[in-house]
Amino acid sequence: MTELGSFLKVADYNDHRADRKAWADSTALRHGVLSAIADAYGLDKAVIAQQAKHIRDIGAAEGERAETDEWFVAATDAFDQPVLAHDFNAVLTSAQLLLLLSCLDSGPDWIVWAITSVLCNVTAPHGTAKPSLRQHRRRIGPETGQLCCTL
């Protein structure tokens, strides 16, 4: 379950369980944001989906307690923490970057932290201006805002 566990970690999903259902936006928007985050970290989305389906299938066959136990194992932090793909700037499209920026003001805290972890590492193509997160400092809080001040 390493791919799913890595995805849960980079999406900051494990640390904000109470907040994870608070995002009232569309499924398509959530899919787009989570897909961009997976792309930024070079994670295999098909494997993540397969592993998540496996856990859901266990729940269907053995009950909610068995499914909860499997999710707990998948969400346990790995010894080697996931890192951004070395070429993530080339992997993410302009549309994905704009989507991530647009969600800084509308997503719940768990996804805002995940988005910020990606956006704070974006480098601008030669000869272009680097995107600024300063306008989003109120939403993302002082800790993350400080991290983004270097942009």
What is residue 42's predicted lDDT score, i.e. its pLDDT? 94
Q: What is the pTM of this model?
A: 0.74
Query: 31-59 in b/e burial notation, b at 16+ Cβ within 10 A?
Result: ebbbebbbbbbebeeeebeebbeebeebb
Q: Which residues of the chain have pLDDT under 50?
A: 16, 18-20, 136-151
Contact 110, 142 (CB under 8 A): no
Give the residue ranges of DSSP H helices in the chain.
2-10, 27-40, 45-62, 64-75, 88-91, 94-103, 109-119, 137-148
pLDDT of residue 146: 40
Residues 6+ apart with CB under 8 A from 36: 92, 96, 97, 99, 100, 118
pLDDT at residue 49, rounded to an integer: 92
**pLDDT score at 134:** 52
